[in-house]
């Protein structure tokens, strides 16, 4: 998969059947988000179009080399609360690559790939926080 071919990104954070974040963003500016990464996620789901430049900013720091490591990483020591991070990329050819990390909140020695994607998730949240807050505020005033 080439970064320039990515059309959609989906990020999910879950633990024991509870969601902390569900986010989908597309190259053309379609956006859906529920939650802010904390458990449990708010019931509120925001769906609308956003500036497509936000998508471009999100993929700007992606490293092409990371895609060859797409798989499920099931850490044997899930110390603390069990967590699942799922990051999926879909390209213009409808091919998908998925990274899934299964670990615990107290798990040590998670390698370099998990922190890399934690940074990616943080960037996605940062880029969409203002939009999400505004969408939620508008919903509450209706």
Which tokens is 87 given?
A: 């990051």
Q: Is the CB of residue 24 less than 8 Å from the CB of residue 10?
A: yes
How many whole angstroms separate alpha carbon 130 and alpha carbon 36?
Answer: 12
Q: Residue 55: what pLDDT? A: 97
Q: Residue 138: what pLDDT? A: 85
Residues (pLDDT < 70) of the chain are none
Q: Residue 91: what pLDDT? A: 97
User: What is the pTM assigned to this prediction?
Assistant: 0.94
């Amino acid at each position: 998969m080439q970064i320039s071919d990515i059309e959609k990104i989906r990020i999910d954070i879950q633990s024991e059947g509870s969601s902390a974040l569900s986010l989908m963003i597309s190259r053309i500016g379609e956006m859906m988000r529920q939650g802010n990464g904390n458990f449990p996620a708010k019931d509120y789901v925001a769906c609308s179009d956003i500036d497509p430049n936000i998508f471009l900013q999100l993929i700007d720091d992606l490293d092409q080399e990371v895609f060859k490591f797409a798989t499920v990483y099931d850490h044997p020591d899930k110390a603390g609360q069990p967590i699942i991070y799922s990051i999926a990329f879909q390209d213009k050819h409808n091919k998908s690559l998925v990274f899934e990390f299964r670990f615990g909140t107290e798990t040590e020695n998670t390698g370099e790939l998990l922190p890399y994607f934690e940074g990616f998730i943080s960037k996605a949240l940062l880029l969409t926080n203002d939009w999400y807050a505004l969408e939620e505020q508008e919903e509450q005033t209706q």
